[in-house]
Amino acid sequence: TEPEVSDPFRTHLKVAVSGLLTELGFSTADATALETLTELTQSFIGELGRSARSFCELACRVEPVSADILLALVEMGVPVSGLHSFATRSQRVTIPAPSQLTTPKQTSILHTGLLFVLLIF
């Protein structure tokens, strides 16, 4: 079972990791190495989110702000001094936004409820 089949976001994350590798000068990557880097990136983002949520909840808020993310990065030992230069780099690889999937039409609650009421009586 490939991770891409069960998690479509992982496919987009792999594309983003590939873009970063291209920026660094790599033209090819071994599938196992790319999968490992994708897994590490996913774990990092998950831990960053959990830590930022903890700082948010500690401040009695329900939505994190940028300061929560900054504190989480510092707590994780990530040097934040280079974030601005990384964000404004000139040789950035641009990845197109993922297309939206069409969601299947949900059954009407009224129909389902009406059918349930009819079955009871």
Question: What's the predicted TM-score (pTM) here?
Answer: 0.72
The residue with greater pLDDT, 1 or 40, is 40
Q: How far is CA 112 from CA 35, 95, 104, 119, 120, in A?
A: 44, 42, 16, 11, 13
Is the Cβ–Cβ distance between 73 and 80 less than 8 Å?
yes
Matching residue, tokens 């992982």: 10
- Rounded Cα distance between 38 and 25, Å, is 18
pLDDT (mean) for 100-114: 59
At residue 95 the predicted structure's pLDDT band, cuts being 50, 70 and 90, is confident
pLDDT (mean) for 75-82: 92
